[in-house]
Amino acid sequence: MTWFGLLRGLQSVTTSDPFSFTGLGSVRTATKRAGGTVRNHGGSPGKRLGIKKFSDQYVIPGNIIVRQRGSQFHPGQYVKMGRDHTIYATAPGFVRFYKEKWMRTDRKFVGVVLTKGEKLPRDDTNLGRSRYFGLVDVNNTAAGPRPSM
């Protein structure tokens, strides 16, 4: 007997099987309806990131200037960065955005200037140091000479 004869004999036996492909009989159906999936599950609410104070806007100490993930903007003059990379003002003044050469690329900085027309980065050799000490006006020359130490 050849292989084909054996297969033909098995085929005649399996035709009475209700679950075989060739036999007629009951068809198995699903007991539950097919349910779809929800993609992304609705997500989470937005974190309200971005620039909060724009260039030439007046800020006071503690005002948030930029909320960000990572450091797209870096802190400049009179500005600090919080632990969640939030940049906030440490002195009253006007916000300035600028770029500086950093390694091979340009890095974006945010700073605060004390007078409205000032530009950053500040040229300290020509203009002198920009100084702010809370409630004391350091640049006031009417108070007289300061005591030397």
Beta bridge partners of 95: 112
Beta strands in the chain (DSSP E): 50-51, 58-59, 64-67, 73-75, 79-81, 87-89, 93-102, 105-113
127 half-sphere exposure, CB direction, 13 A CA radius: 12
Residue 30 and residue 20: Cα distance in Å, rounded? 18
Write down the pTM of the prediction.
0.64
pLDDT tens over the chain, length 149 residues: 566 665 566 555 555 655 566 656 778 887 877 777 777 677 789 999 999 999 999 999 999 999 999 999 999 999 999 999 999 999 999 999 999 999 999 999 999 999 998 999 988 899 888 888 776 766 666 656 656 65
- Six-digit token pair at 130? 């920009």
Q: Which of 64, 113, 122 is nearest to 93 (CA)?
A: 113
Instruction: For the chain, give every domain's residue range.
Output: 50-127
Torsion sign over Cα 135, 137, 143, 144: positive
> With contact defined as beta carbons under 8 Å apart, do 109 and 120 qualify?
yes
Helix, strand, coil share of the chain (percent; to 5) = 15, 25, 60
CATH architecture of 50-127: Beta Barrel (2.40)
| Residue corresponding to tokens 């900085």 | 109
- Six-digit token pair at 142? 């009417």
